[in-house]
Structure 1
């Protein structure tokens, strides 16, 4: 009976039959890495209670990716690359231009026209404002001209009323005195009648002067209202002038031209490194696959200053994975091991994406993605999507 090689759910190999056969290099390397003793394990450890025993390590395959994953920066479909400003491996800052589309120069010219139109509209508005200010000043002058004479006339009339009141008081005193004298027979009836007539005359003059003052006050108020209405009318005309409408329209056109110009400048949405240039100068951006309205990608961008490993942990092991656990990764692509910290444990079980090179490996494994932040990103900063071996050490 021939020998059989079986794969357990944990990914470890078992050899059945009479004689064990040599394992594949990849599986053997993973077993050696999983069973590699640490410095502390090299020394005999004192006996510990079963509750304190260390739970077995979690082994898995994983892939390296930048923080925030790989971002594909695209542009509107139907456009063409006019000028590419970056190359692979170049570091870019957030908002930095990556490429100019072919329509950039045309949109730049449109913005120049809109700026000129706004400049002309502002000049026309300034001229209109000056004319409106002159009209307002003229209306205010007419108000002053209507105000000053009436003030003087009203002041004179008040002086007349004050004088007549004094004269009326004197006439009242004389009338009272002559009435007393008439009783004693010192004055005649005619003299008393003269004093009474003088008093009545002054009283009539006072009433007439008061009425005249009311008339002057009314005329003054009417003149002020008319002058104020002229000032307000001039100001309102200045506020709703056609020049102001033209300025508003020109500003809106400039904002539209600027927005259209910005659409022709492809900028970096975040700081990072250009991982791959997908389009060359002169190439067109065709619609995305499937007929969607989005355009094609121009570059792939990633924050390689902080690298992560996405470990695909088998579904039966994920219950032992926790945020904050220590982990190490290894690969033949870089020397030694790189330590990391578990930062996120996925909430969804799916099929594995990182496929083992062993043809006998299970390619339909159900796994959960566990994100590990590497403590030293420099050795793998240029190795995005590299397959690595992962060991996660559960806590006691």
Structure 2
């Protein structure tokens, strides 16, 4: 073999394989031993974290107090949170995992009332506003007047005048009937007097005729006069009967006049009812929260004025359907928000009977906006209600102490 062949053979990797395996074996064993340390270290850290969160030893509590951190505060639903419980020993209680968190909004008792224009107001505009934001109004107070009010008032005046005319016509009809009755009675009396006189004359002439003192012609004239007077009495009796109370003629004339008056009064009543289309009234005692339309503007679909009974503020909380079974009426609550210097407190007053879609959502873009929830109404205590009076629709985070063990 030549020298060049020997040098080429010396460069082959097979020539060094046995030496490399022999020299690197201790180093590879050392690296494998280091790899087992990492899982052991992670297992130790995890076990220590679980033990610390479960038992919360004094050292861990000192750490949280010094740093201001709270256990579980970084999650959407904290596992546990330290709450100061005022008692003789100033004990510290830990809220149980049975507590329920929910998003809520502050509302007046009975929610916000959106007052719209009256039914039938059409395209009427606001003519005058009689209230300002913050005013307290009583039921049926006039909040605003619409520009159709003058037209409605004119319709009332027209209807009132028509009633007066119809009333006068009825009175005139009755007076005319009374006058006609009196006239017929007078005519009857005159006819009866004439008949009495002709009867007396007939008796006198008959006596003379029987004695042969008067002629047959005179006797016939006396009979004719008596018969005429009798027929005149009968005619006047018939005329008087037409105006007697309860007769068909009188009933018909008065019935027509009364019907016309009734129709006029009905028209007046309708006009008086229609005038309410020109007023916007308060449906109940409440406080003016917001005004959506000013004089000269046509009210939009959002209504004219928002009202609310701020004498008692409440919170409408939306509890997930999977957690509603934990909530019962009377459970204490606390509600917090950035705008509140300290949490609001109260109790659960009502639980809804229907599951609906969530309407209150957080600012978190990853939040579930299509959750199924149940409305829970919370009544705030007197102090919290007073502090929340000017915060209608403020979104809060509500913690319901469901099943809390005192």
State if a TM-score over 0.5 links the two structures: yes
Corresponding residue for residue 131 of structure 1 = 176
Corresponding residue for residue 387 of structure 1 = 395
CA offset at residue 229 of structure 1? 7.0
CA offset at residue 38 of structure 1? 2.1
Corresponding residue for residue 276 of structure 1 = 290
Corresponding residue for residue 36 of structure 1 = 83
CA offset at residue 357 of structure 1? 3.1
Question: 3-state SS of the aligned residue for 2:161?
Answer: helix
Distance in 2 of aligned mates of 1:383 and 1:256: 43
More off after superposition, 317-326 vs 27-36: 27-36
Higher relative contact order (CA 8 A, sep 6+): 1
**Structure 1 residue ranges without an equivalent (≥5):** 1-21, 46-52, 147-222, 289-295
Question: 3-state SS of the aligned residue for 1:370?
Answer: strand
Kept after mapping to 1: 8 A contact 2:116/2:305: yes
Question: 3-state SS of the aligned residue for 2:160?
Answer: helix
CA offset at residue 342 of structure 1? 1.3
Seen in structure 2, the aligned counterparts of structure 1 residues 44 and 327 have a Cα distance that, compared at 3 Å, is closer
Corresponding residue for residue 86 of structure 1 = 131
Corresponding residue for residue 251 of structure 2 = 236
Q: How does 1:68-147 map to 2 (within 5 A)?
A: 68-75=110-117, 76-135=121-180
Seen in structure 2, the aligned counterparts of structure 1 residues 55 and 34 have a Cα distance that, compared at 3 Å, is closer
Corresponding residue for residue 193 of structure 1 = none
Kept after mapping to 2: 8 A contact 1:143/1:228: no
Kept after mapping to 1: 8 A contact 2:292/2:299: no
Distance in 2 of aligned mates of 1:44 and 1:341: 23
The superposition leaves residues 207-252 of structure 1 with CA deviations (integer Å, 9 ceiling, x where unpaired) of xxxxxxxxxxxxxxxx9999777522164145314x3233122212
Q: How does 1:78-227 map to 2 (within 5 A)?
A: 78-135=123-180
Seen in structure 2, the aligned counterparts of structure 1 residues 34 and 229 have a Cα distance that, compared at 3 Å, is farther
Name the Cα RMSD after superposition.
4.3
Kept after mapping to 2: 8 A contact 1:55/1:394: no
More off after superposition, 229-238 vs 106-115: 229-238
- Select which of 297, 304, 307 maps to 2:310: 304
Radius of gyration: which is bigger?
2
CA offset at residue 102 of structure 1? 1.0
CA offset at residue 274 of structure 1? 1.4
Q: How does 1:358-373 map to 2 (within 5 A)?
A: 358-373=364-379
Corresponding residue for residue 67 of structure 1 = 109
Question: 3-state SS of the aligned residue for 1:336?
Answer: coil
Question: 3-state SS of the aligned residue for 1:106?
Answer: helix
CA offset at residue 332 of structure 1? 3.7
Question: 3-state SS of the aligned residue for 2:378?
Answer: strand
Seen in structure 2, the aligned counterparts of structure 1 residues 373 and 143 have a Cα distance that, compared at 3 Å, is farther
Kept after mapping to 2: 8 A contact 1:83/1:100: yes
Distance in 1 of aligned mates of 2:163 and 2:73: 69
Kept after mapping to 2: 8 A contact 1:132/1:237: no
Kept after mapping to 1: 8 A contact 2:102/2:397: yes
CA offset at residue 283 of structure 1? 1.0
Seen in structure 2, the aligned counterparts of structure 1 residues 361 and 143 have a Cα distance that, compared at 3 Å, is same
Seen in structure 2, the aligned counterparts of structure 1 residues 44 and 326 have a Cα distance that, compared at 3 Å, is closer
CA offset at residue 31 of structure 1? 4.9
Corresponding residue for residue 13 of structure 2 = none
TM-score by length of 2: 0.60
Distance in 1 of aligned mates of 2:187 and 2:86: 101
Distance in 1 of aligned mates of 2:180 and 2:74: 94
Kept after mapping to 1: 8 A contact 2:101/2:400: yes
**Structure 2 residue ranges without an equivalent (≥5):** 1-68, 192-235
TM-score by length of 1: 0.61
Number of matched residues? 293
Corresponding residue for residue 99 of structure 2 = 57
CA offset at residue 78 of structure 1? 1.7
